Amino acid sequence: MREDVARVSSALAADLVATAHELADVARVATLSYFRSRDLAADTKETRRFDPVTAADRLSEERMRAVLARRRPDDAILGEEFGTQTGTSGLTWVLDPIDGTRGYLSGTPTWGVLISVREEKGVLYGIIDQPYIGERFEGGLGIARMRGPQGDSPLATRSPRPLTDAILFSTFPEVGTPAEGAAFRRVAPLAKLVRYGTDCYAYALIAAGQIDLVIEAGLQAYDVQAPIALIEAAGGIVTDWQGRPALDGGQILAAANREIHAEALALLNG
């Protein structure tokens, strides 16, 4: 029995999963109400680069917080747009109302909604939802599956293969700082195929057995906790670039299996 299943009662697990799906449902409606709107405005959170936030981001998180206030008022919340709300249950919901707002603004369908619930020891369960495509990936509490236009299917990561036969994704070619970019370029030229720009969808593709690696830097807790739950449930591994737990974000190495994780980790560290 997986550790996350063993430490949660069946009744609590069922309620957490049902709550997460309701959060994803309301976020779908909220995000689709603005998607591909030609007059959608965006503010930026930073001055040195364009880091957008839109009315859709805020509405999505507001709707999810309203569900939690009704269904699980004692749980804490960490959300990208509205910060931290304390709780007393020992559980925290981690919400990214639109992961990939740049893609959302551009009309591409690779953005998503990230939902996870964690306790002190780690993430229990997570969802990556893509409202426009209609795909929902979920993992944890004994679950590893996706639902989409082609029906339901189990999640399972790819079998081991050398980096020269692997598919590697990252959101930005620069990856992070110049030093982080240099570390990434020790790995990328050796991969069979490198692709950029899919945000959270790349992590879903690892869990679905389509790709082998995602390497990124500068992430936040709300960017990674749902992907961690999915990938681990599907048989993969997610750490930082030193092989340590990555629940708080930062430098992320997500891999389909321990063999290719070890190969990429060694190259990242020179």
The residue with tokens 């804490």 is 76
CA distances from 54 to 13, 66, 101, 129 (A): 33, 19, 8, 18
| Element spanning 254, H or E | strand 250-255
Q: Provide the pLDDT for residue 41.
A: 87
pLDDT tens string for the chain (270 positions)? 456 666 789 999 999 999 999 999 999 999 999 999 988 888 887 767 777 899 999 999 999 999 999 999 999 999 999 999 999 999 999 999 999 999 999 999 999 999 999 999 999 999 999 999 999 999 999 999 999 999 999 999 999 999 999 999 999 999 999 999 999 999 999 999 999 999 999 999 999 999 999 999 999 999 999 999 999 999 999 999 999 999 999 999 999 999 999 999 999 998
Q: What is the dihedral of CA 80, 81, 87, 93, to 10 degrees?
A: -40
- Considering the domain delimited by 3-154, tell me its CATH architecture: 2-Layer Sandwich (3.30)
Please return the burial class of 47, using the count of CB atoms within 10 Å of its CB with bins 0-12, 13-18 and 19+: exposed
Boundaries of every domain in the chain: 3-154, 163-268
For the record, the structure tokens of 225 come out as 């906790």
pLDDT given for residue 6 in this prediction: 61
Q: What is the pLDDT of residue 184?
A: 98
3-state secondary structure 26-76: HHHHHHHCCCCCCCCCEEECCCCCCCEEEHHHHHHHHHHHHHHHHHCCCCE
- Other C-beta atoms lying within 10 Å of the C-beta of residue 182: 11
* pTM reported for the whole predicted model: 0.94
Kindly indicate whether the domain formed by 163-268 is annotated with CATH number 3.30.420.270.
Answer: no
Measured in degrees and rounded to the nearest 5, phi and psi for residue 172 equal -120, 135
